Amino acid sequence: MAPRKQSVTTRSSLMTPVLGAAARMQLARQLALHGGASSGRRSLRSSAAMKFILNVLLLAEALQAYASQVPHQKRLDNGLGLTPPMGWSSWNVAQCASASASYALDTANKFVSLGLKDLGYSYVNIDDCWTTKSRDGSGNLVPDPSKWPNGVKTVVDQIHAMGLKFGLYGCVGTMTCAGYPGSWGHETQDARLLASWGVDFWKHDACYTPCANGQSPQTCWDPAYNTKAWYEKMRDALHSVKDTKNIYYNLCQWGRDSVWTWGASVGNSWRMSGDNWQDWASVQRIGSAAAGISQYSGPGGFNDLDMLVSSALIIGQVRTSPFEVASPTNYNQLRQIIGNNKLTENEERLHFGLWAIAKSPLILGNDLNKISSASLAIIKNKASRRAPSRKLPIHGIIDINQDKLGKAATTFRPPGSPSPVSGQIYPYWAGPLSDGVVIGLAAASGAATLSVNFKDVPGLGSGTYSWKEMYSGKTGSGTNVSFSLGSHDMAVIKVTTAGGSNSPPTTTTTTTKAATSNPPASTSAGVCVSAQWAQCGGNGWNGCKSCASGTKCTVVNGKVHLCQVTYTELADTRTEWYSQCI
């Protein structure tokens, strides 16, 4: 169901948090004059009574403001996304050409034949370009007949018959990122159409929205309004068709407006950063930022670290700024991450393992007809090396991602370990599971032997524990664990008790505060440094004012100062900046 609304039981302060300042003052005056229905001959005209009423109003508003800052205080609660979704999305395979019935059905068949369906991969999601360039005379979206000759519903029914689910893509703005009709002003109409087809998943991108400078470019990083209100419109529209079809709602919002602080009340998952590009630097950037916002993930709503592939680059365009509109038809070079030889095998293991323990959705974006056996083994996580003929449950990284407790891992600092470095993946991660604790050891800075005493791990304590490393299948027991890892490799270790004076697993973590609204800063050589997208200035700001290397403190919306990537760096490394949210 939709977010629970505050019940109104009296004419008093319980209703005031939703009122504006003028309305609150008018209500206070009326109560002071009349005292409510049961006041009778009593009068509340005294200044003392007036002050009392105003204090009650202010207290109620303060309590509501406090509650809005507490993670999990208010969640969408539509019954979906109790664990992170697993599936595939079409864009990186062939961009607009892959937004078709044939690609959807071929991928669904690959889910079955490759054994991915049995591991939990269930969503077959079609991204941008699935419609015609305009709506019909009734204002409805029209599936491109050259790509969907029998319509969308026929394909949805076929995929459902295979025990899988189907998703589609749209945009909060007037157009999608590739220039097709967006949902701006058509939210309810689009939701009804999706429900009539039986669509299970809706990805809502953020292109072509109003900008503070009056323009409406493809990628606006200075929005005219808080983006939460835009995404609430589609949330409410999807809720209105819930009795016909309950649809998973993914906010492809690029991490703006501290979406992790409110995403759970609007959607089932939310992008917490800019796009996952084709390089190791993207894995570092996104993975390091995920640690500081782990507490906002939980059953029904998860931080989305972006797909397990990268977005396309637009080649051969000269741009005067990183925010200039790009041609939506010029997507002519594709780069992916897992399964495309853009990362080493070590890096693929770290990429998949970290996304999994951070409880990110595991959405593939590669061509399953061309995936290598090494990459397939990673995404299938056959750490146990069981014979295929033995129909036993596979315990591995996927199980950790899908653990029903739904708590994301974050970093912790064992005694004597180095301080975190902004923008770099920290070596030590841990998170609670319903039957133990997961530990991640990440050699992100180079080959290393990483060791940890279990007593120093959040959720564990003094005693003897049994453990299993999920990639190698290695097992052991004791009071500590140690792994020698190659550069950019990762060990993912599940710890369970094996006797001794063990402390039961808890949900305690060590790195975040409940009211955090940006990824935390770190220190380097005694200087406080803010990570990319973190706040670095503005009215009343008393935190770090220095930015990580490659970023600078930039005024956003004329008020808040954030550490943003400079165009100089972008020009050196990329030819396009967030052209697609995929």
The pLDDT, as a whole number, for residue 222 is 79
Q: Is residue 363 part of a domain?
A: yes
Say if residue 49 is in the same domain as residue 192.
no
3-class SS of residue 469:
strand
CATH code, domain carrying 346: 3.20.20.70
Handedness of CA 143, 148, 151, 154 (dihedral sign): negative
The pLDDT, as a whole number, for residue 6 is 32
Mean pLDDT by groups of 10 residues along the chain of 582 residues: 33 31 40 39 46 48 40 72 97 92 98 97 98 98 99 99 99 96 98 99 96 81 86 98 98 94 97 84 94 97 86 26 30 41 87 98 93 93 48 70 97 96 96 96 97 97 95 96 98 77 35 32 48 56 66 56 45 30 36
* 124, containing H or E segment: strand 123-125
- Pick from 384, 402, 437: which residue ends a domain? 384
Say if residue 94 is in the same domain as residue 63.
no
Rounded-to-10 torsion of CA 30, 36, 40, 43 = -40
| Residue 92: count of CB within 10 angstroms of its CB | 27
Structure tokens at 194: 């999706």
Q: Is residue 414 part of a domain?
A: no
The pLDDT, as a whole number, for residue 310 is 36
Rounded CA gap, 3 and 268, in Å? 12
* C-alpha closest to that of 418 among 321, 524, 323: 524
Quote the radius of gyration of the chain (alpha carbons, Å): 25
Whole-structure pTM value: 0.72
Q: Is residue 430 part of a domain?
A: no
Say if residue 132 is in the same domain as residue 167.
yes
| Residue 203 phi, psi (nearest 5) | -100, 120
Rounded CA gap, 457 and 430, in Å? 7
Q: Is residue 564 part of a domain?
A: yes
Please say whether the beta carbons of 353 and 471 come within 8 A.
Answer: yes
Say if residue 25 is in the same domain as residue 154.
no
The pLDDT, as a whole number, for residue 341 is 57
Sheet holding 522-524, edge to edge: 522-524, 527-530, 546-547
Instruction: Spell out the long-range contacts of 12-19 with Cβ–Cβ below 8 A and sequence spacing 24 or more.
Output: 12/36, 12/56, 13/56, 13/57, 13/59, 13/60, 14/60, 16/57, 16/60, 16/61, 17/60, 17/61, 17/63, 17/64
* 410, containing H or E segment: strand 410-411
Owner of token pair 């701006």: 184
Q: Is residue 580 part of a domain?
A: no
Owner of token pair 């990459």: 375
Say if residue 272 is in the same domain as residue 365.
yes
Q: How far is CA 75 from the centre of its chain?
A: 14
Please say whether the beta carbons of 286 and 444 come within 8 A.
Answer: no
Rounded CA gap, 212 and 216, in Å? 9
Q: Which structural domain range is residue 217 located in?
A: 86-384
Query: Does the annotation mark 275 as catalytic?
Result: yes
Rounded-to-10 torsion of CA 410, 343, 170, 200 = -70
Say if residue 60 is in the same domain as residue 101.
no
Say if residue 102 is in the same domain as residue 51.
no
Say if residue 174 is in the same domain as residue 275.
yes
Owner of token pair 């999994």: 356
Q: Is residue 260 part of a domain?
A: yes
Show Cβ contacts of residue 40 under 8 Å, excluding neighbours closer than 6 positions: none
Q: Choose the catalytic residue: 128, 200, 257, 275.
A: 275
Please say whether the beta carbons of 155 and 143 come within 8 A.
Answer: no
Please say whether the beta carbons of 96 and 130 come within 8 A.
Answer: no
Number of compact structural domains in the chain: 3
Q: Choose the catalytic residue: 127, 128, 205, 257.
A: 205
Say if residue 290 is in the same domain as residue 343.
yes
Say if residue 54 is in the same domain as residue 90.
no
The pLDDT, as a whole number, for residue 569 is 31
DSSP letter string, 38-94: T-TT----SHHHHHHHHHHHHHHHHHHHHHTTSTTSS---SS--SS--EEEESHHHH
The pLDDT, as a whole number, for residue 47 is 52
